[in-house]
Amino acid sequence: MPHFKVGEYMKKCKEVRNAGFMTKRNLRDAQAEVSQLEMELQRKDKLLRGLQERKRRMDAKISNLEDEVDSLPEKSRFTQCSILSDRAVESRKKHPTRFQNKKFSSSLSVQRQRRKETFAAAQKIHGGSEETEVPGAIGIVDTALVKCSQSILVDVMSVNQKFNQSVMPSIYKPKLGEFESSTENMIRSVSVYYSGGVAGKKKYRKIYKDSSYKIAMQSKGKKRVRLSVNNCPIPRLVPYNKLMPFIKSIPVGSMYSVYETLCEGLDEEYKVHGCYRNLAELLIKLAEFYLSGCSGHTLVWFEEEYKFYVSLGGDGAPFGKHDTACAWLVGFLNIG
């Protein structure tokens, strides 16, 4: 007779009871979650209705303000809402501000009126007041410099006496002082001093005066006045008394006394005073100068780079070509 498995039966019954218990608990949790979501939905729905009511009230207030503006007289609307009335704007379009042939097309009175209106508008826009007009002035200048093309700025400002005689010189003169005391101007002056041979003190001072000053006839006689363009002085060369210390400070190598080194054993009446430089040292210095690129030129003589011949005249000074009667070839330096 078969045996009935009581243990397995009891185990199955227990699993069925536990499954029913878990299903009931999950159902209760889901119902609680739904209840919370419904409460949150009601809260947000209430908030939405409040925002809609606020929007309705704001729309009504805006509509009332628009009706009040439309009901204002024309003059009051011009004062509060715009710079010019529509009628004035249309009138100005028929006679706009023009600048042709170096002058304004409108009359002086119209120009004054429009300047006054423009400045008043700029004061309001940039926060000016009766106590200070600086914000409006800065705003107008900044707008002109940014919004106007270069051609318009040049055309209008070039005929303005205030700009040419006062503003531009005030900008230019500090820069002029910086240039005149710069190394660039010092080198420029050295170039003038040595151009076409050594100018010397007297000639350089004359060049200095003639290039920067003119003679003006006055009731008491002649007077030198500074040359200028539109009240902007022309840059001067460096004065002679400042140029010479700079030239003497330039390293030129060693100098030797003729009297001390070359006149030994001669009678006193045959000895001479003077200075000279050693030729070998000088050639090396010249080679260094060309190789460093300071000259701004590539040395190409005798169809070969950095090869040059040195010729000296009969008196020992550089003179002519190496094959002339008054010169003799000392040698050549080939740098490669």
Per-domain residue ranges for the chain?
6-70, 106-173, 183-249, 255-332
Distance CA 328, CA 109 (A): 84
Q: Measured in Å, how far apart are the chain's first and last C-alpha atoms?
A: 124
Q: Which residue has the higher pLDDT, 296 or 153?
A: 153
Residue with tokens 């500074």: 226
Task: Find the range with the poorest average confidence among 48-52, 148-152, 295-299.
Answer: 295-299
Condensed to tens digits (0 to 9), the pLDDT of residues 218-244 reads 656 678 888 888 888 999 999 999 999
* Residue 32 pLDDT: 76
Q: What is the mean pLDDT of residues 89-112?
A: 82
Res 325 pLDDT > 70: no
pTM of the model: 0.53
Condensed to tens digits (0 to 9), the pLDDT of residues 168-205 reads 999 999 999 999 999 999 999 998 988 877 888 899 99
Distance CA 70, CA 78 (A): 12
Distance CA 333, CA 336 (A): 10
Residue 304's pLDDT band, with cuts at 50, 70 and 90, is: low
Structure tokens, 78: 């011009």
* Residue 249 pLDDT: 85
User: What is the average pLDDT score of the chain?
Assistant: 77
Task: Find the range with the poorest average confidence among 40-54, 149-163, 278-292.
Answer: 278-292
**Residue type for 120, please?**
A
Residue in 321, 323, 286 with CA at minimum distance from that of residue 306: 286
* Residue 64 pLDDT: 78
Residue in 315, 312, 317, 316 with CA at minimum distance from that of residue 327: 312
